[in-house]
Structures are given as structure tokens and as C-alpha cells.
Amino acid sequence: MKPKASNHLWAEIGRLKSQLSEANDTLDAIRTGQIDALVVNGDNGHALYTLKTADHAYRVFIEQMTEGAVTLNSSGLIIYTNSQFARMVGKYQSGVLGSKFIRYVSADHKSTFQELFDRGWRENAKREITIVAGESHIPVLLSLNALQLEDELALSLIVTDLSIQKENERQLRISNEQLENLNKALISSNHDLQQFASVASHDLQEPLRKIQVFSRFLKDRNFHELSEEQRHYVEKIILSSQRMKVLIIDILNYSRLSAEDGHFVSVNLQHLFGEIADDFDLKISEKNAIIEIGELPSIEGNKGQLRQVFHNLMSNALKFTSPERIPHIVIRKKDYNAKEFGVSLSQDETYCNISISDNGIGFDEQFATSIFSLFEKLNPKSAFEGSGIGLAIAKKIVDKHRGLIIARSKMGEGSEFNIILPLQQQK
Amino acid sequence: MTIRNVILVEDDPDDRDLFATFLGKRRDVHLLPTVTNGVELIQYLELSSDAELPHLIVLDQNMPMMNGKQTLQYLRSTGRYAKIPTVIYSTYADSSLVVDCKSLGAKMVASKPIDDKGYQKMMDDFLQII
């Protein structure tokens, strides 16, 4: 028997060992929060031992949630609610408990809720519906999960208030609509501008050319029959029509700049200024002007457009000369201080500054910005003819090259234009 | 010397008169009845025998129905007219019009003149082509 008793003891030890390990596992699980209630088979049937700390934490958690949380029984009665849901429907918790949840659902969503309620017992379900709180309707997201409570199955509902989200969506939609309308208006106004350019290029120029043709015929063919006064009038017509032609062409060029997209190549500014000086050959010798061109770099840009910028600036420097001294125009690369100009430049770019200075009549520096506006002219028409578009074109081109153009001047002493351009353009 | 036929395609009556006046001063040149747009030109050419076809077609650019460039395109793609020297003149001959029309086969693209001298020069240039 001895061996038998020994075997029995061994078996007893084994059983106790496994019980101990089970108890240890349970303790671990409790410690790590995997379990918050224990069902223990006792003398009076099953007893439920909840873990006070865990239960308390969850209750606080649910109370503090910004979502409403309710639990329904199988007939749809609210058996638990947090205070947030009660607040949502404008009642005290006690007033909500025991009532049917469906009574808080708006009339048009009652059938949807009923379907959701039926489905929620079998699977998790989510749906946006509207709940009623007194006079107001609140859009909410309902999230349903079946929940095994102590002795019966219940349905837990998380009720998320979507009012703010919906309002944001509405605002966003309105903003989008406004943006879309603005965009449409912009496209249409761009189209109008193109139309205008086309009209200006042909329809306006045709009658203008007739005025030019016939006023010239009148002058050339009938010169001797015209009185001095009549000749004077014809001359005025010819000059005005010439001037109008310049205006139309300049406006066209300006409006075309918006449409053209940048085609950037490496432009040798040294060569460019050489070419421009050649263009003004006649004017330069006529005015005995001294043109000094320093060492200039190559930069990336649209060659035709850059040429136009410097052409316009050179043209101005040669136009607004002072009769008191020999015109002296200096073009050079110059160090600059962005702060001194009161501007900010991108840190990721390398820029160069081209300065064009003259000793002409200058202008009042209070106009240093406005001279770049379309049709802005500072000088009386009779003294210096021009369309008032040259600097506007220059500014627009420099803008398109992501650069800056800054004018400085002293009345009666001369002007300086600084053109700060990035060495490289974005491809 | 044989008489060379020139046809002007022009919708503007003043410009038709001016053109006729200046061309009329040239010898050995005959101005065919003027048509006012590309569609009329094509109708005119279709009714002409080979011997009656013009030696030079002068197209205004800005015309209703079928403008100068479109007319040029049609002429170049139609065997019977493809070889007839054609020029375009316009109030506003910008560089894109010049490039486009030259590549379509225009012998010359000119801006409409504004004085006697300009007209004489243009007639010289045009008649040199034929």
C-alpha cells in the first residue's frame, strides 16, 4: 500500500500545484487590469466579486467622457446613462433612466434607430441620426455594442455630438462654394482680359490706323493748300494718334505678360546690357550720354522679359535727363542689404542686385512705390512723353521672376533702380 | 510683258480703295474684283479657269467668316491653289502672326501702311514676289 499512498500524495501535490499556478495567473490578470470582476462558485450559488478600484475608475472615466453613454435593455429602456447624455437631451440623469431611448430620436430617424437597435445585438453598428432635446435637434453618431452584464445582455450606446463637426462642415462647404465662385469670377475676368487684348489688338487699332492714314494724306498731299492753323491741327491729330498707338501696344504687352508662362534660360546680363545700349545708340549720342556698364553676372530668367525690364529702365534713364549736366548712367552689380530696403528675401535663394543709376531729374521719393502702378506718371505730359506702363511692365516681370524692384531718388539729383533677382528659377 | 493678276481679300471698304489706288498706279498689274473674305475667295477661285487664276493673293488677316490665316491654310492644302503666291497683311502683325503665317507658307506678312511712302513700299514688296 505504501507505494499507493505515495502515488496519491504525488497526485495531490500535482493538483495543488496547478491550482496555485491558476491562482497566480488570476492575480497577475487582476494586477494588470485584465479582469475587473470574478465569479466565484460558492455555497449559495455563483457570487460576483467586483474589484472596487477598477469599477470606480471606469465609472469616473465614463462620467468624464465628452460623449453620451447609455445602456439599454432588450426592450430599449435606458438602464444606465452618464450625465453627458442627460445634458444632451436637457434632463437630469434620473429623468432619463427608465425611459425608452427611442423617444429621444427625431421622428424621421425612429425607424432607422429601430433597425439599428435590432442589428446592434448581433454586431457592432454605427450610424448618424438626430436626437431631439426640447426644441432643438442634435446630429449625433450612434455607436452600438452588445454588452454582457451580470445577468442579462444589454446594449451599450455611445452618443457623439456632431453639432460642431456639422457646423464646421457647413462652414467649410460655404467657404468652398465662395472660393469656387471667386475662382469662376477670376477665370471669367481673365477671359475678359484676353478678349480685351484681342479687341485692343485689332478692333481698336483698325479705326486708329485710318485716322493715321488719312491725317497723313491730308498733311502730305494738301500741305500747300492748308493754312498754318490747319496744318497745326493736322499735326496734333497725327501726334495724338501716334501716342494712342503706343498706348494700345503697351497695354497689350502688359496683358500678355499675365498669360505667358515662364520659360527660363541662362541670361548673360553683360551681353544683354550691351545689346540694350546698342538699341539706344542714337539716343545716347544725341544726348552725349555716358553709359558705364560694370561686370554683370548670368542669371536664370526669361530672356525676352528681362530684356524688356532693363530696356524700360534704360529708356527712362535716357528720357528723364537733366538739361544741366551730361547724362551719366551706371549699371553695375551691387551689394545690398535687404533690411536697408525694408524687404525680406527667401533664405534658400541666392540673389544678385543690379543697380541702374542716373544723374537725371529724379523724383520725389514719396512716389517710390506708386511709380510701378499702371498709368502712373510723375511728369507733365508735354515734357516727357510715355504711356506710363513701362515701370508697371518691369515690376510685373520682376515679380514673375520672384524678384524685387526698388526705386530710390533725390529730386533734381538722379534716380537709382535696384533689381534684386534670384540667380536660379524654379523649374 | 504679260499682265499679272492680283486679287485682294479685304472686308474694309477704305482699305480696298487705298489698295486699288496704289496698285492702279502700277503697270502690267491687274486687280481682279475684290472679295471680302476667305469664303468668297474660294467661291471666286472655283469659278475661275486655270488661266484666270490670280498670280498673287493678298489676304487681310482680320475678316469675318474666314480670316487670313484660315484662308491661307485652306489654299495651301488644296492642290489647285497651293502654288499661288500668297501674302497676308494686317493692322497688327505681331510676331506670333508672322511666325504662324510664314510656317503656313505665306510669302510675306506685312503691317498695313499708314502713309503714301508705306503703301508704295508695300506694293513694291508684293509685286516683287511675282
User: Model confidence at B56, in pLDDT bands (50, 70, 90)?
Assistant: very high
pLDDT of the residue at A177: 94
- The model carries a pTM of 0.55
**Is B91 within 8 Å of A216 when comparing Cβ atoms?**
no
Q: Which residue of B has its CA nearest to A241?
A: B114
pLDDT of the residue at A181: 94
pLDDT of the residue at A4: 64
**Is B114 within 8 Å of A216 when comparing Cβ atoms?**
yes
Across the beta sheet with B86-90, the strand order is: B29-31, B4-9, B56-60, B86-90, B108-111
The per-residue pLDDT for range B70-114, each reduced to its tens digit, is: 999 999 999 899 999 999 999 988 778 888 899 999 999 999 999
Looking at per-residue pLDDT, the higher value among A418 and A190 belongs to A418
Q: What are phi and psi of A179, to 5 degrees?
A: -65, -40
- Euclidean distance between CA atoms B129 and B55, whole angstroms: 9
For residue A302, the number of C-alpha atoms closer than 13 Å in the C-beta half-sphere is: 18
CA proximity to A385, closest of A246, A263, A256 = A246
Instruction: Report the residue of A216, A239, A244, A252 to disrupt the B interface, i.e. the one with the largest count of B CBs within 10 Å.
Output: A216
**Is B114 within 8 Å of A217 when comparing Cβ atoms?**
no
Looking at per-residue pLDDT, the higher value among A37 and A14 belongs to A14
The per-residue pLDDT for range A324-375, each reduced to its tens digit, is: 999 999 999 988 777 667 677 777 788 899 999 999 998 888 888 878 887 6
Residue A160 in contact with residue A85, Cβ under 8 Å? no
**Is B114 within 8 Å of A206 when comparing Cβ atoms?**
no
Q: Which residues of B touch A220 (CB under 8 A)?
A: 115-116
